[in-house]
Amino acid sequence: MKRLPPLTTLPVLEAAARLQSFSAAAAELNVTHGAVSHQIRSLEDHVGVALFARASRRVELTAEGAMLAEAVRGALAKVSEAVEALSPVERERKLKISVLPSFGSRWLMRRLGYFLQANPQYEISVEASTRLANLTTDGFDVAIRFGKPPWPGLHHEYLAGDTYFPVCSPKFRRGKLPTKPAQLSGIPLFRSDVDNWDLWFEAAGVKIDPHYIGIEYSDATLSLQQAIAGEGIALTRRSLVGDDIANGNLVKLFDFEAPSPHGYNLVCLPQHAMSPKVRGFRDWLVAEIDWA
């Protein structure tokens, strides 16, 4: 904070840098040309470098000026967004959702357009990340989490359970697919950090060497892409592959499915739980879920 320049100089720098003119910046800010020149000089004295190269009728940013102007523009934009977000009307108009990349790309994003068509009053943003969102500090209205409560300090509502089963491309091994779980031994088995082959093998009553031949991925989307490419077999959740099975990209191996110990939950701050947009989104999810 000690190195912060006079804050009144920052909007002047942003305008002068964007317009490449002290006169145009003065007109936009409704001040005199001399006032703009004075503010820029004060800022240059503070940082100790020239921010503009003066010519007879125009000014050009120096490399240092361009770097500082870009930082100032980003900071002012964030302040503007934060102030705008404080408006109750704006808060209710925007719906910010946190979701895992796998569920986001393989289920939610293929259907979210229908929610927007039915609710055109909302401006929706989705952040897909394997990082657990902090609903208090990250500004999310709601998160869809696959796991088990409790989540301290948060409101949660159960949406649906899920099941595990192996899938592969119908072209894997030229169509000569395993017909029994025991035949999976020695085959490349893909997995992600939320998938559990041990759980499935135990439920199927099959003992397989736990040192699987294959690759572990941080997100199920990557393991399923490898399976679609015909490189091996992936353990998946039913919620993630309904469309791929329907269009023939993947086939389900065996008739057996192992129930997951986890489920999908809608999670939000307690004060948001009864807001119209959160309730509307929750009701739409429940009606749209097609795998449970």
* Rounded percentage of the chain residues whose pLDDT exceeds 90: 58
pLDDT in tens, 264-278: 999 999 988 999 999
Q: Is the peptide bond before 150 cis (omega within 30 degrees of 0)?
A: yes
Indicate the pLDDT class of residue 130, thresholds 50, 70 and 90.
confident
Give the count of alpha carbons within 13 A of 176, CB side only.
Answer: 4
Mean pLDDT of the chain, nearest integer: 88
pLDDT in tens, 4-58: 888 999 999 999 998 888 988 898 898 999 999 999 999 999 999 999 987 666 7
Helix (H) or strand (E) holding 258: strand 258-268
Nearest to 142 by CA among 163, 160, 159: 159
Q: Per the structure block, which two tokens stand in for 136?
A: 């208090």
- pTM, two decimals, is 0.68
What is the predicted pLDDT for the residue at 84?
A: 63
Q: Please state, in angstroms and rounded to a whole number, the distance separating the CA atoms of residues 218 and 287.
A: 29
- Do 233 and 227 meet the contact criterion of CB atoms below 8 Å apart? yes
- Do 188 and 232 meet the contact criterion of CB atoms below 8 Å apart? yes
**Three-state secondary-structure class, residue 219:** coil
pLDDT in tens, 54-98: 766 678 899 999 999 999 988 888 887 777 666 565 567 889 999
Measured CA to CA in angstroms, residue 243 lies from 111, 120, 239, 253 at distances of 11, 26, 9, 16
